[in-house]
């Protein structure tokens, strides 16, 4: 494991693949990553097998600390705000507006930590007609036409690697590293 990000603290408020993989990469570079999870089951990828440590969850979440915080509880949100004071980076992958509604979006967190790097990952970006739609890798592959290259028309189903989430993750890491450097 590299130590180039030693001393950097990252709050990982993300789930599934794109955000967790980005934060995993930052952890591999030496950052301290604290994964914030819902106390009612945690990251949905945890339960993709019969136990709490599915292969998908483990692949994107090793080298991280974990903290269960109920973001629907105002007292818990205050805990997150206190953590943000000591963090260098926040990575989240909710639909646009969710973090603001919870009181922990960029406009709110920059008041407690003006030097915070805030990385928001979403399927369709912060503006446009699809901005509030949820998206996963397969949705993005389908809407872009990439999925048609992998599907058998007579038996359509999810196939191939998670290309969109992988590229998104790498772009998020690049953006965070650039912002930290700046």
Catalytic residue ranges: 165
User: Cα–Cα distances in Å, from 119 out to 46, 60, 89, 91, 94?
Assistant: 23, 17, 8, 5, 11
Four-residue CA torsion sign, 134, 136, 58, 83:
negative
| Alpha-carbon separation of residue 77 from 33, 73, 115, 153, 159 (angstroms) | 18, 6, 20, 47, 38
159's tokens? 């196939």
- 56's enclosing H/E stretch is helix 55-61
Between CA 69 and CA 74 the distance in angstroms is 10
């Amino acid at each position: 494991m590299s130590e180039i990000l030693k001393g950097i603290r990252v709050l990982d408020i993300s789930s599934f693949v794109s955000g967790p993989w980005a934060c995993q990469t930052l952890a591999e570079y030496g950052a301290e990553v604290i994964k914030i999870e819902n106390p009612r089951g945690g990251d949905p990828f945890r339960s993709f097998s019969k136990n709490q440590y599915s292969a998908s969850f483990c692949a994107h979440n090793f080298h991280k600390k974990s903290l269960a915080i109920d973001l629907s509880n105002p007292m818990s949100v205050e805990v997150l705000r206190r953590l943000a004071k000591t963090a260098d980076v926040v990575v989240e992958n909710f639909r646009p507006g969710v973090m603001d509604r919870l009181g922990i979006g960029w406009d709110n967190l920059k008041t407690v930590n003006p030097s915070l790097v805030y990385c928001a990952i979403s399927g369709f970006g912060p503006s446009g007609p699809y901005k509030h739609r949820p998206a996963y890798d397969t949705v993005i592959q389908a809407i872009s036409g990439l999925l048609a290259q992998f599907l058998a028309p007579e038996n359509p189903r999810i196939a191939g690697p998670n290309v969109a989430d992988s590229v998104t993750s790498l772009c998020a890491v690049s953006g965070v590293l650039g912002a930290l450097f700046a």
